[in-house]
Amino acid sequence: MKAGLVYDPIYLEHDTGDHVENSRRLVEAISYLKETGIKEKLISLPARPASLEELEMIHAPEYISHVKSKAENGGGWLDPDTVMSPKSYEAALYAAGGLLVAVEGVMKKEVDNAFAIVRPPGHHAIRDRAMGFCIFNNVAIAARFALSKFSLNRILIADFDVHHGNGTQDAFYADPNVLYFSTHEYPYYPGTGAAKETGTGKGEGTTVNFPMAAGWGDEEYLRAFKEVLVPVARRFQPELILVSAGFDSHWADHLAMMTATITGFAQMALILKELAAELCQGRLVFTLEGGYNLRVVASSIKAIFDVLLGNSEIEDPLGKASVARKPEGFDEHIEAIKRTHHVS
């Protein structure tokens, strides 16, 4: 398998100081890929900045110019969680553009699949506002880009970040061409993502939310994937699968309360890879969203590259949480979601 890696040092220039979403996340991840010998097995795809036209497929022109002028004026806070430095605008253009390069690489078969290791992340950013460490919605821009540039009709975005991708949901809530599937701790930031949010108008049914109770872990994530994501994806028949990969649902990530493991992330990635092979010629592109424990982020990215390369051995240096919580209520919960989305 030819797996593509998108990374650019400009991502480190988005200087957030001592914020949890900081450049060390990528520094450690890239050096771990080098240390473990995985990096040399990957095909590097050079990032590029997204054009204004590409950003405007998702974002309001006034918002884009607001971010640009904020950077020119030295940076500052875009919302209570999201801070910018003078280079953040450029980094954000390359984060969005990095994912476009990954999509192009996969669509043109230069690589079989790809993972864009970018920051700032994107899935909370909405049309005219930054939210939750996100400036531009990288995955949403990539989906629109793939629909128009490669004349696709159906794209699946799977989002297993611990937070709901409200920005991505928003962008495609009425759009039947993009199926958005999300697992996320709920209720939790940003507050959206209830199971009853299923899309609107022509997009009714193409938003699939799988809220998760605090404490649930691999077993529940994998059942959500196998019993809900797989059947809805088979029904939808995507031509490309994009993945918002966040590793903040790991037990050792203290931003949230879930108990997933690195092995669990690799198993989710394998389900997505098998779905892509079955439904869309293997076309699969991951992008980094959240994940704030540096060892978890580095090891999870490495584990996902192992899956993308077809390596069967997955290393999980952190193992399982020492205290497991009982998944009370999960059976009833998944049955209700299956009924909502008409899967048996």
CB-CB neighbours of 326 under 10 Å: 8
Q: Which of 161, 175, 218, 220 binds Zn ion (CB under 5 A)?
A: 161
Number of residues forming the site for Zn ion (CB under 5 A): 6
Measured in residues, the chain has a length of 344
- Please identify, using beta-carbon distances, which residue of 197 and 248 lies nearer to Zn ion: 248
Cβ-closest residue to Zn ion? 290
Nearer to Zn ion, 38 or 288 (CB): 288
- Site residues for Zn ion, 253-312, by CB under 5 A, read 290
What's CA 149's distance to the chain center, in Å? 21
Query: In the complex with Zn ion, which residue's Cβ is closer, 48 or 129?
Result: 129
Question: Does the footprint of Zn ion cover residue 248 (CB under 5 A)?
Answer: yes
Contacts of 68 (CB under 8 A, 6+ apart): 89
Q: Tell me which stretch binds Zn ion (CB under 5 A): 143-151, 170-178, 245-253, 293-301.
A: 245-253
Per DSSP, what are the bridge partners of residue 223? none
- Residue 119 CB: number of other CB atoms within 10 A? 28
Could you say which DSSP state residue 245 is in?
Answer: E
- Mark the segment that binds Zn ion (CB under 5 A) among 72-80, 141-149, 161-169, 301-309: 161-169
CB 241 within 8 A of CB 158: yes
Residue 163 sits in the site that holds Zn ion (CB under 5 A): yes
> In this complex, which beta carbon is closest to Zn ion, that of residue 105 or of residue 246?
246
Q: Give the CA-trace dihedral at 260, 243, 22, 141, to 10 degrees.
A: -150
Please state the closest distance from residue 160 (CB atom) to Zn ion, in A: 10
Tokens of 155: 């794209």
246 lies in the binding site for Zn ion (CB under 5 A):
yes
Any idea what DSSP says for residue 49? P
CA–CA dist 84, 13 (Å, integer): 10
Q: Which range touches Zn ion (CB under 5 A), out of 7-15, 154-162, 263-271, 321-329?
A: 154-162
Sites for Zn ion among residues 64-123 (CB under 5 A):
none
Q: Give the residue with the Cβ less far from Zn ion, 220 or 248.
A: 248
197 lies in the binding site for Zn ion (CB under 5 A): no
Q: Does 54 bind Zn ion (CB under 5 A)?
A: no
Give the shortest CB-152-to-Zn ion separation in angstroms.
27
Shortest approach of Zn ion to residue 162 CB, angstroms?
5
Stretches 98-106, 112-120, 215-223, 247-255: which one binds Zn ion (CB under 5 A)? Answer: 247-255
List the end-to-end C-alpha distance of the chain, in Å, as a whole number.
33
**Residue-wise burial string across 47-74, b where 16 or more C-beta atoms lie within 10 A, e elsewhere:** bbbbeeebbbbbbeeebbeebeebbeee
Query: 177 or 287, CB closer to Zn ion?
Result: 287
> Cα separation of 320 and 250, whole Å?
9
- Residues of this chain that bind Zn ion (CB under 5 A): 161-163, 246, 248, 290
